[in-house]
Amino acid sequence: MNLHALRLFHTVARLGSVTRAAEELRLSQPAVTIQVRNLEQELGLTLLAPKGRGVLLTEAGACVAAEARRLFALEEEVEARVAAFREGRTGRLRIAATYLPANFLLPAWTARFRETHRGVSLSLSTANAREALRRLTHYEADLAVIGGGPEAAGGITRRLLREDPMWFVVPPGHPLAGREASLGELMREPFVLREPGSFTRDMLLSLCRTAHVEPPRISLEMDGFSETLRAVAAGCGAAFASAAEVRPYIERGEVARVFVPSAAAVNPISLCLREGEEPSPTAAAFLSLILSLIEASHPPAGGSP
């Protein structure tokens, strides 16, 4: 079936006039008439009958017009859905994140995103840095927001969002609590370490290698940050963690900070995407939002207060 001719017939049937249809379609009246007649010949049916200055649908014409109305309404719906997907207003967004961004950054970011993207299905999974990157490279996530982590492997691009200082903490009442110490002095204390693959564990061991200091004795190995801090608070040993994570525990007096000037380090919070691929529309919309939020929270120097 000639869909162009059917579309013209649909317009004629909707407006009840070949003349008005030609005006709306910006075609000549004879061109519209010819296309409708061609459709009638193709179908072997008479679709229109003259009625004064307008036209009247025959029984066959009314049947074809009803089906054309359904067809072109569906076309409009498909176009609307495609536009919504293309603009990131619908679809899905799967985020893999490490503990710090998952608990201290992403809740606010996803809440803002939901305000304007209610049609998007959102999911957030928390893992250590290596696992978050694995999920991204295996298409189990659309983007990853990680604290620290290994260098981006082949196939991954990383965009720095912010940096958070790394702090050492000990149980309250510990002899080094609130004091300054050298890295070597602190490494003589037992440590509660995160699981292999954790950025904080890798960074601590890297600091020891750089300073030619023996790594600490592991008193306990934990799979999660909250569990690690509770173990420190209970007296199991010291820990190394991002400031944003431990600050609430310090303020509540559950753990205490040890100042180690010789071991200054930061936790880079980065957004990771698959290299060489355009992010999905939803991922692109989310990235645009968080970059605008970060920029708004750090205005350029000399700007208005």
Q: Give me 119's structure tokens.
A: 């049609």
Residue 248, pLDDT above cutoff 70 = yes
Q: Give me 185's structure tokens.
A: 């002095």
In the DSSP assignment, the letter for residue 192 is E
**What would you measure as the largest C-alpha separation in the chain, in angstroms?**
102
pLDDT score, position 247:
92
In whole angstroms, what is the distance from residue 300 CA to residue 304 CA? 9
Residue 252, pLDDT above cutoff 70 = yes
Q: Give me 124's structure tokens.
A: 């957030």
149 — pLDDT class (breaks 50, 70, 90): low
Element (H, E) at 97: strand 90-97
In whole angstroms, what is the distance from residue 179 CA to residue 186 CA? 11
Residue 297 burial class via C-beta count within 10 angstroms: exposed 0-12, middle 13-18, buried 19 and up: exposed
In whole angstroms, what is the distance from residue 32 CA to residue 19 CA? 9
- What is the chain's mean pLDDT, rounded? 88
Q: Give me 57's structure tokens.
A: 């649908």
For the segment 188-195, the average pLDDT, to the nearest whole number, is: 92
pLDDT score, position 301:
42
In whole angstroms, what is the distance from residue 229 CA to residue 188 CA? 19
Q: Give me 153's structure tokens.
A: 């492997």
Per-residue pLDDT tens digits for 263-296 = 989 989 999 999 988 888 889 889 999 989 888 8
pLDDT score, position 232:
96
pLDDT score, position 1:
83
For the segment 242-256, the average pLDDT, to the nearest whole number, is: 93
Residue 305, pLDDT above cutoff 70 = no
**Phi and psi at residue 161, to the nearest 5°:** -100, -45
Residue 304, pLDDT above cutoff 60 = no
Q: Which residues contact 268 (CB under 8 A, 6 or more apart)?
A: 147, 148, 160, 162, 163
For the segment 15-27, the average pLDDT, to the nearest whole number, is: 89
Per-residue pLDDT tens digits for 41-95 = 999 989 988 877 778 898 998 999 999 999 988 888 888 878 877 777 778 899 9
Q: Is the dihedral of CA 255, 259, 262, 267 positive or negative?
A: positive
**Phi and psi at residue 233, to the nearest 5°:** -60, -30
Q: Are strands 266-274 and 156-170 parallel, antiparallel or unpaired?
A: antiparallel
145 — pLDDT class (breaks 50, 70, 90): very high
298 — pLDDT class (breaks 50, 70, 90): low
Q: Which residues contact 37 (CB under 8 A, 6 or more apart)?
A: none
pLDDT score, position 153:
63
Give the end-to-end CA distance of the chain in Å, rounded to a whole number: 65
In whole angstroms, what is the distance from residue 261 CA to residue 243 CA? 15
CA 237: distance to chain centroid? Answer: 37
* Cβ atoms within 10 Å of 127's Cβ, excluding its own: 19
Q: Are strands 48-51 and 54-57 parallel, antiparallel or unpaired?
A: antiparallel
Per-residue pLDDT tens digits for 81-104 = 788 777 777 788 999 998 889 988
Residue 29 burial class via C-beta count within 10 angstroms: exposed 0-12, middle 13-18, buried 19 and up: middle
